[in-house]
Structure 1
Amino acid sequence: MEGRPLFGESEKALAEEEISALATALLDRLEQLAKEMAERIRAGSRDLQYDVVSEEELEEACRTHIGNALQALSGRVPADTETAARIGRRRALQHVPLPTVMTAYRIGVKYLWEVVVAEAATTPSVGSDGLVAVATAMSELQDSITGAMVSGYHEAVARRLLDSEHERSAVVEALLQGSSMDADAVWSAAEVLGVPRNGPFTVVAAEVPQLGRQALPEAPALLNRRGIRSSWRLRPDLQLGIVYLRTPRDLDELVDVLRHHARQRIGVSPSYDDLCRTGDALRFARVAMRGGDAESRTVTVFDDSPVAVASAGAPDVMARVATNVLGPIEDLPAEEREVLLDTLDAWFGCGGSADEAAKRLYVHPNTVRARLRRIAERTGRSVADPRGIAELTLALRAVRQSPDPPSWERTGTTETTDA
């Protein structure tokens, strides 16, 4: 794109008489000025990672900028900002840091101003007013050109990041699908993800709040701040992540982040060392996720929750277990049924302490004991019997893990719970 002319109507006469003559004189020395500016920039940015730009390329950029600037100062053409945008995009692709490019531009502008002042000193026709006008014009010119360069730079960075993210997403999906990879492909995958070839790694599976919506939009950035590298993939029903566990403490840090930002159930797989086993780890992560209570924000770590993952590992089998064990309780009115199940859940959660469960439920401990007896009467499983506890635990987990209660069989009578 092209910017507006540097001079308004009131300034044209001055520009034609003084500035145009000055700019024209300098245009005759364009090759020399380009070489000198390139040398100045090279010397001034020697420690600023500018060495990736070749001497020929830098000199050509200086020649282009000086030529455009002097022609704009002469009033012949508007300032050409597209060239600056193109150079900004080029520097971004060369991975030159933006502050380094800005430093080079400042050095170049300073050099050009020094040249203009020196030339004005040898040109009697350029007075102090003309020099002020030149300074004003150069300031406007610098703003427009630098702004265009920065815009071009950011545009290229955004495109590069998008391309990189697409590449990372494709690699993550291939690993999660358990795609067959030879050694070279696995090395390439590790390089794209920025992780070592060997772990340990873990897979995170998180239910999404809505179709296509991220479950953990902030977690990747928060993990990165803690020095934990991760790569993520969004599927219609799940957000999946591959996390590199550099130290044993990283797993605790990961779980802490997940628990603070969970929107729905999240599962964390066992750790594994070979990226080729990512597909297997995903299966474990999904089982762990299903091990949490439905419609909750539970973070279930596979290795830390054997009962939860065991009951989630075979949903159809566990639905039948729930039918056989807790079916008689289903015959009670909904409110009474939930009271008994909540009491059983609280009792398990409090390590089998009626006193602690009573505090959690805001009832008397004797009420908890009465409800547990009620459960034993209806199910035939006593919480004083280890086998009964195991069966009740698995059946309750199956109920809690399903968003829809199992299709329990009715057993006949409807009774009331304790008062």
Structure 2
Amino acid sequence: MVDKEIRALATVLLERVGELAKEMAARIRSGAREYHYDAVPDEDLEEACRTHVGNALQALTGQVPLDTAAAADIGRRRARQNVPLPTVMTAYRVGVKYFWESVVAEATTTALVGNDVLVAAATAMWEIQDGITEGMVSGYHDEVARRLLAGDQERSALVEALLEGRSMDADAVWSAAEVLRVPREGPFTVVAAEVPGIGRQALPDITALLTRRGIRSAWRLRPDLQLGIVHLRTPRDLPDLVEVLGQRAERRVGVSPSYDDLNRTGDALRFAKVAMRGGDAESSAVTVFDDSPLAVATAGAPDVMARVAAKVLGPVEALPADERALLLDTLDIWFDCGGSAEEAAKQLYVHPNTVRTRLRRIAERTGRSLTDPRGITELALALRAVRQTPRPPTSESTDDTRKS
């Protein structure tokens, strides 16, 4: 690819590397100013130009193979300086154009090469510049990936520290907010979501989905839970948050009451977990703590409520599975319909008298009247406790699993 005439031309230009690098840097400053390339100090830019010019000319002389590692180092440096890649590419285009003009000018002045050789030199030079550019871009992307990983790890560690309730002074809280990319002042809320499996996200792409709605958040994945700190910018953000959570969730999700001080994140996490446990165990319910007093009341003392449920609904729970499910579902829908048999019947696609018959059976087996406020309260609490408790697999399902 490189003949002796091109080598001679490159050797002459190598003697002017310093001059060429200085002029190339000036051209880049002039040609890329509108792209804000001033983020790079003058001495840094000139050094990079000297490296690239020297690298390209040495490759043209055949003295050494093309050194793409030097280009990769410069790409990493530009990424650390937060120079956008399109801006760097603009500078490279300006620099390559000047380099070729310098080669043509030297060839014309010294008459070292003819036009046919100059065409060959152009081919060689563009291949070399492509190698240099690819090396720079590769280094740039490597640094961006490294910084993103480091940033994710730092944000994850800060989220964990806040969720654990570690006390921070005002400066530390402000710094944490800066790293987490959330405002320094609330209101905030904590989200706790059950994961579908160890190491799997409960809410895939949740950060991006919330960002599209203008909601800022920071997340942490634990073996059993995916946890998030969410900034509620306006009153509308909470229903938007709940809507997005409902669209993505595969398991139960809890949302804490709002709070203003990031130092209270640990307390909010406890409430979010209680709210999460307040949802039906076999569902993907999103339970907001402040909107679900009955659910959080039963979830807040699971051991106590398990005994209450056994005491109140034990006779119904002892029925065959199909009959038990029928009665409990009817009771659940009757509560949701405000105690209206007619409305419950519409949802169950049965006659209202059928609903009343099922409710009478519940009252007879439990000894709790559905016209007495105390009986209704006990049944409601017991039902919520039953719904919140994961049901162990039955012998029938175990046998099916073995057969499969």
TM-score w.r.t. the length of structure 1 is 0.91
Matches of residues 316-335 of structure 1 in structure 2 within 5 Å?
A: 316-335=303-322
Identity of aligned residues (%): 76
The aligned residue for residue 297 of structure 2 is: 310
Secondary structure of the residue aligned to 2:106 is: helix
Match among 13, 32, 36 for residue 45 of structure 1: 32
Please give the per-residue CA displacement for 1:249-294, whole angstroms capped at 9, x wherever unaligned: 1111111110000010000000000001000000000000000000
Q: What CA RMSD, in Å, does the superposition of the two structures yield over aligned residues? A: 1.4
- C-alpha distance in 2, partners of 1:61/1:185? 38
Match among 56, 75, 80 for residue 93 of structure 1: 80
Quick one: which amino acid aligns to residue 37 of structure 1? M
- C-alpha distance in 2, partners of 1:124/1:191? 60
- C-alpha distance in 2, partners of 1:182/1:401? 38
The aligned residue for residue 397 of structure 2 is: none
CA drift at 1:337:
1.2
Match among 201, 209, 215 for residue 228 of structure 1: 215
Match among 355, 371, 392 for residue 384 of structure 1: 371
The aligned residue for residue 349 of structure 1 is: 336
CA drift at 1:352:
2.3
CA drift at 1:44:
1.4
- C-alpha distance in 1, partners of 2:150/2:285? 34
The aligned residue for residue 171 of structure 2 is: 184
Aligned residues of 1:49 and 1:97 also touching (Cα < 8 A):
no
Aligned residues of 1:231 and 1:243 also touching (Cα < 8 A):
yes
Match among 275, 280, 297 for residue 288 of structure 1: 275
- C-alpha distance in 1, partners of 2:317/2:67? 78
Quick one: which amino acid aligns to residue 185 of structure 1? A
Match among 96, 100, 112 for residue 99 of structure 2: 112
Quick one: which amino acid aligns to residue 191 of structure 1? E
**Runs of 5+ unmatched residues, structure 1:** 1-6, 406-419
Matches of residues 142-181 of structure 1 in structure 2 within 5 Å?
A: 142-181=129-168
Question: May I ask how many residue pairs the two structures share in their alignment?
Answer: 392
- C-alpha distance in 2, partners of 1:168/1:177? 14
CA drift at 1:47:
2.7
The aligned residue for residue 395 of structure 2 is: none
- C-alpha distance in 2, partners of 1:174/1:124? 70
Runs of 4+ with >3 A deviation: none
Please give the per-residue CA displacement for 1:329-348, whole angstroms capped at 9, x wherever unaligned: 12322221111111111212
Matches of residues 154-303 of structure 1 in structure 2 within 5 Å?
A: 154-303=141-290
Match among 70, 77, 102 for residue 57 of structure 2: 70
- C-alpha distance in 2, partners of 1:137/1:225? 47
- C-alpha distance in 1, partners of 2:34/2:22? 20
Secondary structure of the residue aligned to 1:212 is: coil
Quick one: which amino acid aligns to residue 390 of structure 1? T
For structure 1, which segment, 374-383 or 156-165, has the greater mean C-alpha deviation from structure 2 after superposition? 374-383
Aligned residues of 2:74 and 2:139 also touching (Cα < 8 A):
yes
Q: Within the alignment, does 1:340 sit opposite 2:327 as a pair?
A: yes
